[in-house]
A = this chain, B = another copy of it.
Amino acid sequence: MFGILVVAHGDLAKLLLETAKKILQEDFPNADFYSMDWDCDFNKAKIDLEKKINKMTGESGTLLILTDLFGGTPTNIAMTFYGKYNIEILTGINLPILIKALILQKSGVDVKESLSELRMKGQDAIVLVSEIIERR
């Protein structure tokens, strides 16, 4: 079972994960978060995040890192570990992606084979409600 690590600005990672878990009403022991403080020192954050990545990849094999924003510090720091650890990074996440990732995790699929599906799920979940209502 792959691990899931949400990495984002401030308390966003924690709250996104809490929200997804509350909606699914299940516990996900292999899903965790890393909150990047606003006033964080880049090098200190890098050391802290690496500890978490090292621990989670050791326990779960592949680790799926979900981040808030391409170009943001949380994503930039996570990217420095690509190639060094067995991680995949998907950025620009929304609540539907996180929920889908948690469901995929429980289903026992190979995360590397599910990445495109996961991205598409997130993209397709961005919907203009007017188009749905007018189609009815």
Q: Which residues of A contact B (CB under 8 A)?
A: 8-12, 15-16, 18-19, 22-23, 38, 68-70, 72, 75, 78-79, 82-83, 88-97, 99, 115-116, 119, 122-123, 125-130, 132-133
- Given contact pairs A23-B69, A69-B23, A72-B23, A92 touches B127 in the complex (Cβ within 8 A): yes
Closest beta carbon of chain B to A33's beta carbon, Å: 13
Residues of B within 8 A of A123 (CB): 123, 126
Q: Is the CB of B125 within 8 A of A92?
A: yes
Closest beta carbon of chain B to A24's beta carbon, Å: 12
Q: Is the CB of B15 within 8 A of A11?
A: yes
Q: Is the CB of A128 within 8 A of B88?
A: yes
11 A-B pairs whose Cβ atoms sit less than 8 Å apart in the complex: A8-B95, A12-B15, A22-B38, A69-B99, A82-B129, A90-B127, A91-B126, A92-B95, A92-B96, A116-B128, A119-B126
Question: Looking at A38, A82, A91, A93, which has the most chain B CB atoms within 10 Å of its CB?
Answer: A91
